Amino acid sequence: MKTYPLHRAVLSANSEAVLVLIRMGASLNELDEQGHTPLHWAVFGGYKDIVRTLLEAGANPNTFSNDGVTPKWRACDFGLLEIEELLTGYGGRADTNEHFNKVAFQLFNELMSLPLPQVEKQSGVAVFINKWVQRAKGILGVLPVR
């Protein structure tokens, strides 16, 4: 069974251990059993200094986790502006992959228990989304905020 020492050091916010493991050649971009790189975990924890250390050591800021998101996407999701800016400085993008997009859309469909609304070919995405939102609001009993 793999132990993922760099991941564990990041999760415990142990900056010294992170540095030692990097110097020993620990894999910076390896996904652990939960599908995250050390950089993903550093973002989850909000550990800006460890994020910087990993990036300076060469961690890829655009590696997708198994749930289909990049570290910068997660930083944006959590509202971690300083970490988001740091990732941007190293070329990080707030991306999702096809798996994330499909799962998110399917989950939304299941939660709403709605079939997709039928939309005329030329009405466009905005009309589609508006119809979808209106149907969801009707089922949930949500009134528009004024």
Tell the burial category of 62 from Cβ atoms under 10 Å away from its Cβ (0-12, 13-18, 19+).
middle
pTM of the prediction?
0.68
User: Which helix H or strand E contains 60, and what residues bound it?
Assistant: none
Residue-level pLDDT at 69:
86
Structural contact between residues 60 and 54, judged by C-beta atoms closer than 8 angstroms: no
Q: Which domains does the chain have, with CATH numbers?
A: 5-89 (1.25.40.20), 98-140 (no CATH)
The pLDDT tens digits for 88-115 are 999 999 877 665 556 555 555 554 555 5
Q: Specify which of 48-52, 126-130, 134-138 reaches the highest per-range mean pLDDT.
A: 48-52
Provide CB contacts within 8 A for 112, sequence distance 6+.
Answer: 135, 136, 139
Backbone torsions φ then ψ of 93, nearest 5 degrees: -120, 145
Residue-level pLDDT at 105:
55
